[in-house]
Amino acid sequence: MPIPSPAAPDLSAAPRAHLFGVSAAMVTPFTAEGAVDLARLAPHAARVMAEGADGITLYGTTGEGASLGQADRKAMLDCVLDAGVAADRLTAAIVACDLETAEAQARAAQARGVTRLLLTPPFYFKGIAEDALFDWVQAFVRRLRDTELQIILYHIPQVTGVHFDAPLIRRIKDACGAAIFGVKDSAGSWEHTAPLLPMDDLAILIGDERLLARAAPLGGAGAISGMGNLMPQVIGALIREGQTNPALNALVDEIVTVPVTPLVKGLVGAVAGDDGWRHTRAPLQPASASVIAALAPKVQALRG
């Protein structure tokens, strides 16, 4: 049975052309042998939507997207759609350095009705010049000019080594128009976020939950959030109310001291009472059981 779409978040204070809410940056469950565990994925997707997420993002950093091939991506998308999550509530991350693969990932999502893409920049070559990155994005958009896809530029330089800074974002938006829907800013730097917020023709999405309450009243459109796997209702409140949550900030401070993705997966398992969520795909390694045990009560307290 399809999952009802949640009511749109009340972000009337934000001078924003695009309102987004909270999309859970979905963790990807694996079996002990390293296969995608669809039996765990489907109920988790349904659970985060039922708990207040406005949408789900597949194949992102928290989802180990760089470790997922085309067959895995298709199986996961089919699984989530079959679980009742509507296509218009889904965002598909594009994780590729070559344009051919990036286009193939985009068209596979579009074929199943998913029109919103989170575009990771080409991350293999470091020290990419602004003009070169502009050309790469523009070439990607041109390849998809026969579509109506909405592209979110993904700024996460601590992972990719590639920067989408404010002047380049403005240049890309002006050149590509409606194809560029927004930016996900996961740098965790207010100095980078602040110049983006006045861009009211873009959805400015915050990846670091500690900055979300500060950004929302100034035009932040929402979040693609790893913590959305654990407490989407809490993340949604930051967006709606624009008031910081010290307990959440303290928890995130602790989480980011270790590899984040394995730990978030382990905490999902702790909430579900299912140790199978600790499995990762190489080259990532599972989070420490002791760290999961230490942080799980803090997650439960925030969940209420």
pLDDT in tens, 223-234: 999 999 999 999
Query: Which DSSP helix (H) or strand (E) runs through 57?
Result: strand 55-58
Displacement of CA 258 from its chain's centroid (Å): 19
- CA angle (125 as vertex; 182, 120 as ends), nearest 5: 20
Which residue shows structure tokens 């900055």?
211
Query: Which residues are designated catalytic?
Result: 154, 184
Position 18 scores a pLDDT of 60
Taking only the tens place, the pLDDT of each residue in 94-135 is 999 999 999 999 999 999 999 999 999 999 999 999 999 999
Q: Which residues contact 199 (CB under 8 A, 6 or more apart)?
A: 166, 169, 170, 173, 183
Q: Read off the pLDDT of each residue in 65-70 and give the average, rounded to a whole number.
A: 97
Residue-by-residue DSSP string for 222-290: EEEEGGGGT-HHHHHHHHHH----HHHHHHHHHHTTS-HHHHHHHHHHHHHT-GGGG---TTS-PPPHH
Distances in Å between the alpha carbon of 204 and those of 191, 194, 278, 288?
Answer: 14, 10, 32, 34
Percent of the chain with pLDDT over 70: 94
Taking only the tens place, the pLDDT of each residue in 149-199 is 999 999 999 999 999 999 999 999 999 999 999 999 999 999 999 999 999
Does the annotation list 156 as a binding residue? Answer: no
Taking only the tens place, the pLDDT of each residue in 69-98 is 999 999 999 999 999 999 999 999 999 999
Position 12 scores a pLDDT of 44
Provide the 3-class DSSP secondary structure of residue 204: strand
Q: Read off the pLDDT of each residue in 281-301 and give the average, rounded to a whole number.
A: 97
Does the annotation list 147 as a binding residue? Answer: no
Buried b (16+ CB within 10 A) or exposed e, 82-107: ebebbbebbbbbbbbeeeeebbbbbe
**pTM for the model:** 0.93
Residue-by-residue DSSP string for 77-88: HHHHHHTT--GG
58, 76 contact by CB (below 8 A): yes
In this predicted structure, the answer to whether residue 301 has a pLDDT above a threshold of 70 is yes
Taking only the tens place, the pLDDT of each residue in 211-220 is 999 999 898 9
Distances in Å between the alpha carbon of 117 and those of 68, 254, 289?
Answer: 16, 30, 34
In this predicted structure, the answer to whether residue 20 has a pLDDT above a threshold of 80 is yes
229, 46 contact by CB (below 8 A): no
In this predicted structure, the answer to whether residue 7 has a pLDDT above a threshold of 50 is no
In this predicted structure, the answer to whether residue 10 has a pLDDT above a threshold of 50 is no
Comparing CA positions, the residue from 258, 179, 156, 202 lying closest to residue 17 is 202
Give the CATH number of domain 21-242.
Answer: 3.20.20.70
Provide the 3-class DSSP secondary structure of residue 221: coil
In this predicted structure, the answer to whether residue 50 has a pLDDT above a threshold of 70 is yes
What is the average pLDDT value for the chain, to the nearest integer? 93
**Rounded-to-integer distance, Cα 226 and Cα 260, Å:** 9
In this predicted structure, the answer to whether residue 15 has a pLDDT above a threshold of 80 is no
